[in-house]
Structure 1
Amino acid sequence: MKIKLICDSMCDIPEEINNKEFVEMIPLTINIDNKEYKDGVDFTKEEFYNILENSHDLPKTSQVTYVDFKDRFEQYTKEGYDVICITGSSKASGTFQSANLAKADVDGNIYIFDSLFLSLGSGQYVIKASHLIEEGNLNAKEIVKELEKMRESVNLLFVPFTLEYLKQSGRLPSVVSFVGNMLSIKPICTMQDGKNKILSKVRGTKQIASKLVDMILEMNNGNLEDKIITIGYGSNEEDFKKLQEEVSKRIKAKKVYITRGGSCICSHTGPEILAISSSY
């Protein structure tokens, strides 16, 4: 049984998953300083962080198009593949809708899955699907059913180190952003029902790593031994080392993956970010 696993670039996944032969990431388009870039194609993540830090304009992201999906679906179904397509939250982008419109115009077995998450949260579903494909015991339809079953187990926490990007995008009131930046208050965010939500706050950056580990442990009743953990960051490598140390000291997990925030998430949070996610 041949299965092709497709995701969009709102899903931040570890390199070892992205490099698997049966995995393909379709990029969103990023518009910054009146130039269009294909996410992860026209620049590396490091190059994007540099572009972001030197830009005066807020980047804008454009969904994967109907044509992009249709081309891929036609290619792989003609090659005899069943296709599983995992998208970032339908409540944050029209990419899920584009995928479904393309599916309707292509013959073959195509399964579209709305992760209702972004970044590391969406990535958890791609990781799980890739593991199930490699095990070889389930067909594509059965794998998607397993993804549905794991919804309650997926957790995501992320902390943007500046509130300026959230303010400019209208996701945070200007007064809240001003006070937060002035007092160096960092929001600890998650996603619920496909939308961003602030769960807690932390003063300064020194306590962010320990607070993230505190919270992910609490979400899992203190036991992560049967869970997959992904930890991520943007341009702030030194901050990430602290998170790595906290995870290494305090969390015993089935597997710990590392990834970096892509341009889709960092366009809205800024290049400095820390994140942690968990799932079965």
Structure 2
Amino acid sequence: MGKTAVLTDSTAYLDKQTLEELGIYTIPLSVIFSGKNYREEIDLSTAAFYEKLSTEEALPTTSQPAIGMFTELLQELKEEGYTDVVSVHLSTKISGTLQTALSAGEMVEGITLHGVDSEISCAPQGFLARTAAKLALEGTPPENIVAELEKIKAQIRAYFVVHDLHHLRRGGRLNSAQALIGSMLQIKPILHMEEGLIVPYAKVRTEKKAINHILDMLFDDLAAGNVNEVSVIHANNRAKAMQLKEKIAEQHPSTTIQISYFGPVIGTHLGSGSLGVSWY
């Protein structure tokens, strides 16, 4: 009988308690300020990152984990008696992290790595990792865990509004024309992930209208009884995220609503003040 571990990366932004309770392993991505490398949540907290983002002249860049971090962890897991690892990572269109994990899996004998492209990041990626861990604890075979995650991926909805399109344009995550038009016309595009890429979903005039549009879509799904869990995700804007949570809870008091956040790596691309809502 095999033993399965679950691995994700730091962009799932799972809290320490969840990681410990479910036995999820995690590998950090990094942000680079002025040539100095910081592993997110280890060398640089999310609060410190947004503080630094507001004071540094040069915008940061991001980098994926070195392959050695994966091979080292896989070796340790093998020695602990694991035969399989379900490895859930941020979209391959955003980062090469999953490819690095798969390459590491080929380098360590005696343990099989099963890669899952979440095609997204943040709270939805965390939800997939949590689901995988619960299934692994129940003794579900790794192939069945991967099949279940692929089914869930099709049911994930996630929309977000960025305060300033400059970060996405500079990072090549949104083309210059879309960013320029949005800035000039003061349009707040609602963004979402499509086939692993950040693309505009709808264009509205104000942040308030954008958020209300997202809530309308959520409330439609809630009314149809199709929602298991809601996450409100914020970039250095917890007060607004709490207001959003309360607004959802007022209309649907029995719904499980989590507050999550855009940490340093994703915050580098979205910038401070961004808000998102995701549901499953």
Q: State the TM-score, normalizing by the size of structure 1.
A: 0.89
Pairing 1:242-257 to 2, within 5 Å after superposition: 242-251=243-252, 255-257=256-258
Q: AA paired with 1:66?
A: I
Deviation at residue 150 of structure 1 after TM alignment = 1.4
Residue 122 and residue 253 in structure 1: after superposition, are their counterparts in 2 closer, same or farther (change >3 A)? farther
Whole-angstrom CA distance in 1 between matches of 2:210 and 2:17: 27
Pairing 1:173-192 to 2, within 5 Å after superposition: 173-174=175-176, 176-192=178-194
**Residue 229 of structure 1 contacts residue 253 of structure 1 at CA under 8 Å; is this kept in 2?**
no
Counterpart for residue 196 of structure 2: 194
**1:45-91 residue CA offsets vs partner (Å, 9 max, x unmatched):** 11111111112222211112211111111110111123221111111
Matched residue of 1:232: which SS?
strand
Whole-angstrom CA distance in 1 between matches of 2:225 and 2:273: 26
Deviation at residue 153 of structure 1 after TM alignment = 0.6
**1:79-120 residue CA offsets vs partner (Å, 9 max, x unmatched):** 112322111111111111101110011121322111111222
Deviation at residue 174 of structure 1 after TM alignment = 4.3
Instruction: Give unpaired runs (5+ residues) of structure 2.
Output: none
How many pairs does the alignment contain? 277
Counterpart for residue 113 of structure 2: 110
Deviation at residue 37 of structure 1 after TM alignment = 0.4
Matched residue of 1:10: which SS?
helix
Deviation at residue 261 of structure 1 after TM alignment = 0.9
**Residue 9 of structure 2 contacts residue 90 of structure 2 at CA under 8 Å; is this kept in 1?**
yes
| Segment drifting more, 199-208 vs 71-80 | 199-208
Match status 1:84 vs 2:103: no
Counterpart for residue 75 of structure 1: 76
Match status 1:171 vs 2:173: yes
Whole-angstrom CA distance in 2 between matches of 1:25 and 1:275: 23
Q: AA paired with 1:29?
A: S
Q: RMSD of aligned C-alpha atoms?
A: 2.2
Match status 1:61 vs 2:62: yes
Instruction: Give unpaired runs (5+ residues) of structure 1.
Output: none
Deviation at residue 252 of structure 1 after TM alignment = 5.7
Counterpart for residue 136 of structure 2: 133
Matched residue of 2:208: which SS?
coil
Counterpart for residue 272 of structure 2: 271
**1:123-144 residue CA offsets vs partner (Å, 9 max, x unmatched):** 221122133234x151333212
Deviation at residue 253 of structure 1 after TM alignment = 6.2
Whole-angstrom CA distance in 1 between matches of 2:149 and 2:253: 23
Q: AA paired with 1:143?
A: I
**1:173-192 residue CA offsets vs partner (Å, 9 max, x unmatched):** 44543443354322211111
**Residue 22 of structure 2 contacts residue 134 of structure 2 at CA under 8 Å; is this kept in 1?**
no
Deviation at residue 227 of structure 1 after TM alignment = 1.5
Residue 49 and residue 111 in structure 1: after superposition, are their counterparts in 2 closer, same or farther (change >3 A)? same
Q: AA paired with 1:78?
A: E
Whole-angstrom CA distance in 2 between matches of 1:171 and 1:73: 31
Counterpart for residue 51 of structure 2: 50
Matched residue of 2:86: which SS?
strand
Q: State the TM-score, normalizing by the size of structure 2.
A: 0.89
Whole-angstrom CA distance in 1 between matches of 2:267 and 2:56: 13
